[in-house]
A and B are shown apart, each in its own frame.
Chain A
Amino acid sequence: MRIKPVAAILLRQFYLIRGSPVRSLPMFAWVAIDIVVWGFITRYLNSMAAGRFNYVPSLLGAVLMWDFFARIMQGVSTAFLEDVWSRNFLNLFATPLTTSEYILGLVITSIGTGAVGLVVMLVLATVVFGLSFFSLGALLVPFLLVLFGFGIALGILASALVLRLGPASEWLVWPMPALLSPFVGVFYPLATLPRWMQDVGHLLPPSYVFEGMRAVLAGRPFWPGSLAVGAALAALDILLAGYFFSRVFRYAIRTGLLARYSAESAA
Chain B
Amino acid sequence: MRLPGLALFGGGPRLRVHQPGSCQKARTLTESRAVSPLPDVWPGALVAPADVPIRYRAWMHIHSTTESRSEVVLSVDRLCKSYANVVAVEEVSFDVRRREVVGLLGPNGAGKTTTINMILGVLSPTAGSVHIGGIDLARERARALAQANFSAVYAALPGNLTVSENLRFFGLVYGIPQLGLRVAELLRLFDLERLRDTKCGLLSSGEQTRVALAKAVLNRPRLLLLDEPTASLDPAAAQTVRARIRNLAVESGCGILWTSHNMYEVEEVCDRVLFLSHGRILLEGDPRRLPREHGAATLEELFIRLAREPLAEPLEHAG
Residues of A within 8 A of B (CB): 2, 4-5, 7-8, 11-12, 15-16, 19-20, 82, 86-98, 250, 253-256, 258-259, 262-263, 265-266
The answer for the CA separation of A262 and B148 in the assembled complex, in Å, is: 19
For A89, the chain B residues whose CB sits under 8 A away are: 122
A88 CA to B158 CA, complexed, in Å: 6
Q: For the complex, is B143 an interface residue (Cβ under 8 Å from A)? A: yes
Contact stretch, chosen from B160-168, B202-210, B238-246, B262-270: B160-168
Most B C-beta atoms less than 10 A away, residue of A4, A7, A82, A87:
A4
Mind listing 12 A-B residue pairs with CB under 8 Å? A4-B175, A8-B173, A15-B162, A88-B157, A95-B174, A96-B141, A96-B142, A250-B124, A255-B83, A262-B155, A266-B153, A266-B154
- Min CB distance, B109 to chain A, in Å? 13
Q: Which residues of B contact A255 (CB under 8 A)?
A: 83
- Check if B172 is an interface residue, CB within 8 A of chain A: yes
Mark B residues whose CB is within 8 Å of A: 83, 113-114, 117, 120-124, 141-143, 145-146, 148, 150, 152-162, 165, 168-170, 172-175, 215
Query: In whole angstroms, what is the CA distance A89 to B155 when docked?
Result: 9
Pick from B159, B160, B168, B175: contact of A11, CB under 8 Å: B168
Given contacts A15-B169, A95-B170, contact A262 B160 (CB under 8 A): no
Contact B120 A94 (CB under 8 A): yes
Question: Which residues of the partner chain B approach A250 to less than 8 Å between Cβ atoms?
Answer: 124
Given the interface pairs A86-B159, A90-B155, A94-B122, the reply to whether A11 lies near B169 with Cβ below 8 Å is: yes
Bound-state Cα–Cα, A265 to B173, Å: 22
Find the residue from B121, B158, B170 having the highest chain A CB count within 10 A.
B158
By beta carbon, the residue of chain A nearest B212 is A91
Does A5 lie within 8 Å of B175, measured CB to CB? yes
The distance from the CB of A73 to the nearest CB of chain B, in whole angstroms, is 23
Q: Select which of B83, B146, B150, B160 is within 8 A of A16 by beta carbon.
A: B160
A96 and B161 contacting across the interface, CB-CB below 8 Å: no
CB-defined contacts of B152 to chain A, threshold 8 Å: 90
B142 in contact with A7 (CB, 8 Å): no
Closest 7 A/B residue pairs (Cβ)? A266-B154, A8-B172, A86-B158, A94-B120, A96-B142, A96-B146, A90-B155
Known contacts: A11-B169, A258-B122. The answer to whether A265 contacts B156 by CB under 8 A is yes
A253–B156 touching, CB < 8 Å: no
- With beta carbons under 8 angstroms apart, the residue of A88, A92, A98, A259 that contacts B117 is A259
Q: Which residues of A contact B165 (CB under 8 A)?
A: 12, 15
Given contacts A5-B172, A94-B120, contact A15 B161 (CB under 8 A): yes
Q: Chain A nearest CB: distance from B190 CB in Å? A: 17
How far is B83's CA from A11's CA once the two chains are assembled, in angstroms? 38
Please tell me which one of the listed residues B122, B157, B159, B170 contacts residue A259 in the complex, with CB atoms under 8 A apart: B122
Residues of chain B lying within 8 A (CB to CB) of residue A263: 113, 154
